[in-house]
Amino acid sequence: MLHIVDDEDVIRDALAWLAQSRGLAARGYASGEEFLAVTGRDGDPGGDCVLLDVRMPGMNGIAVFDQLVARGLLPRLPVIFLTGHGDVPMAVDSLKRGAFDFFEKPFNDNDLMDRVEQALAASRQAAGAAGVRARLATLSAREREVLDLILAGKMNKVVADELGISMRTVEVHRAHIFDKMQVKTAVELAGLLK
């Protein structure tokens, strides 16, 4: 989902049309406050991107960006700034603090939409990595030990010997690990954790 935060109706409509021409879903917000009121309600975003105008009445784009940073929503919710009133120091500062890109108005439609698609891909990747970390956090200390030995390519018997537990216990831990990590094989597990 592309979130378009701009106080000008015509800009929101034009950007939504551009997004839809690329097969992307878009939603517009007339203010930063309106956008922040709904952001993060559905859990962690993944596959979302924000086009954020810098100069808006009320809460400006930089303040909205600061709120997203404070909520820990970057990089799962990449921000591309749009402005007709930006300068180099503002752009550099925003990029250093985690903005995905910074475009000055007027901008090239294709360049902007290419960056939006790249931001959406980065968002999905970041959300996937966050999901893997969350699943890893559900493993017990013993399951983490077994996991490390599985990833080292050790067979169940060797894992049992090294940990001083029965082979059957290793098999049970291995099954729990695969279930919690949502994989079926050690190869899938290794690929997930690379």
C-alpha dihedral sign at 157, 160, 161, 166:
negative
3-state secondary structure of 27: strand
Report whether pLDDT(84) > 90. no
Over residues 32-77, the pLDDT tens digits come to: 999 999 886 555 456 799 999 999 999 999 999 999 999 888 878 9
Number of residues that make up the chain: 194
pLDDT at 42: 52
The residues that bridge with 46 in the sheet, in sequence order, are none
Over residues 11-24, the pLDDT tens digits come to: 999 999 999 999 99
- Mean pLDDT score, 112-117: 96
> Distance from first CA to last CA of the chain, Å, rounded?
28
Residue 112 and residue 103 in contact, taking contact as beta carbons nearer than 8 Å: yes
Would you state the structure tokens that stand for residue 82, as one six-digit string? 């749009």
Mean of the per-residue pLDDT values of the chain: 91
